[in-house]
Amino acid sequence: MAITVDKIGEQTKNETMIVKIISLREKETKTERGEGVYHYGMLGDGSGTLPFTAWSIPATIRAGDVVELKNFTVKKYNDALRVYIDSRTEVVLRPDDKLDVKHVYREYKIKDLNIKDAFVSVSGILKDPIEKTYEKDGQSKTVVHCTLEDDTGSIRLSLFDRKLAPGRYYKIDGAKLSEYKGRYRLTAGDKTQIAEVSSFRIPDTKIYDINELMRPVDSVNVTGVAVFLGEKGGLISRCSECRKTIDDIRCPDHPEAKIFLDLYAYFTIEDGTGDIQCNVGRAGLLELLNLKEEDLNIDKPKVSKAEVSKRLAEKILSVPLLLDGDAVLGTNGPLFRARRIRRMDEPLLKKVLQAYEGEML
């Protein structure tokens, strides 16, 4: 009697299963013993799917084939079960069999998404849709870029040829997770199942300890004390063409382009669990420094570089801060892109402590 995918566990041994090879990819390896090739992909049956690694597999097997596997092994890899096929495994092609596969995707909270699991199931509220059209095979198609938010954070979601209502809650099943410029994003293609679900509570603040922010997640909060403030931040001049910081009166690459004043700061905060590099741009600093857009008019600036640097140090150093923003993966590790920085006063501290207490309880 063959075992089904949903019955497979780490203890599974000497079993037979009949599965469909859903995807099959090849990877070359180079070790001290020489070069080699192995295969990996997804297999499944009517009860679910599992990833597999095949150290040895008949060359005739293709994606879409139904096969009978005997003497395979199962181990956990990256916290997920994985089937291993090696030279002891019997792989018998069953060319006349057809098998419908039930795709089962692991459900994640947005904060816990991990790029090692490429297809996932996530639920949340849909926000801020922006529709765009594009050409494919001579046909005009639409893609909607939006935000999906749950009680742990948010993520960018691209919906191809689908439209969903903003403000409603959906379960996105089988969305593809990828990373772009240090941020995670989800893509819902034609095989992704989307269903409306009932609403759930999403807190205003989602405060994390710094050591919890090891993977990208948008719309979260951290608290901390700045222990370092970068000297090159503050009031800066930028080229309107390339947006690079300009030290001189004109851009060396675009001498004709206009120069404009901008605000930027980078600093390190600590919260007792670790430290994280943070940066913040114009909008966040205008609010923090009590400045208006017109104050940054390059022809009549109402603040000087020295004044901005002084105010920045006063507002950021030696005070407890609450930051709203996105945790991203920088080249040197996790980075926090703050959209808003608030100096904690008594009422805000109380709110923050309540958020921590709620979590502890």
**Residue 223 binds other proteins (CB under 8 A):** yes
Residue 105 DSSP symbol: -
Structure tokens at 60: 């005739």
What residues contact residue 294 under an 8 Å CB cut-off, 6+ apart? 302
Contact 63, 26 (CB under 8 A): no
Cβ 119 vs Cβ 22: under 8 Å: no
And the tokens for 116? 């090692």
Only segment of 10-18, 105-113, 161-169, 349-357 that touches other proteins (CB under 8 A) = 349-357
Contact pick of 14, 138, 346, 361 for other proteins (by CB under 8 A): 346
Nearer to other proteins, 6 or 270 (CB): 270
Phi and psi at 46, nearest 5°, equal -70, -5
Which CB sits closer to other proteins, 144 or 269?
269
In this chain, which stretch among 109-117, 189-197, 297-305, 339-347 interacts with other proteins, using CB under 8 A? 339-347
The minimum distance between CB 320 and other proteins, in angstroms, equals 4
Among 1, 130, 165, 360, binds other proteins (CB under 8 A): 360
Q: Classify residue 48 as exposed, middle or buried by CB count within 10 Å of its CB (0-12, 13-18, 19+).
A: middle
Residue type, 355: A
- Residue 256 binds other proteins (CB under 8 A): no
CB 50 within 8 A of CB 43: yes
Q: How far apart are CA 263 and CA 275, in angstroms?
A: 23
Q: How far is CA 339 from CA 129, 278, 281, in A?
A: 20, 10, 7
C-beta of 310: minimal distance to other proteins in Å? 16
Q: Is 317 in the site for other proteins (CB under 8 A)?
A: yes
Cβ-based neighbours of 76, under 8 Å, separated by 6 or more: 10, 82
For residue 80, state whether it binds other proteins (rule: CB under 8 A): no
Is 324 a binding residue for other proteins by CB under 8 A? The answer is no
Whichever of 173 and 271 has its CB closer to other proteins, that residue is 271
Q: Name the one range near other proteins by CB under 8 A: 87-95, 107-115, 160-168, 206-214.
A: 206-214
- Taking the least distance from each CB to other proteins, the nearer of 99 and 317 is 317
Shortest spacing between CB 361 and other proteins, in angstroms = 12
- Give the pairing type, strands 234-239 and 259-270: antiparallel
Give CA separation, 302 vs 239, 286, 293, 298, 299, in Å. 20, 13, 10, 9, 10
Q: Rule CB under 8 A: choose which of 227, 242, 283, 298 binds other proteins.
A: 227
Question: Which CB atom, from 25 or from 350, has the smaller least distance to other proteins?
Answer: 350
CB of 155 to other proteins, least distance (A): 22
Asked if residue 313 binds other proteins (CB under 8 A), the reply is no
Contact set with other proteins (CB under 8 A): 209, 211-212, 223, 225, 227, 268, 270-275, 317-320, 344-346, 349, 352-353, 356, 360
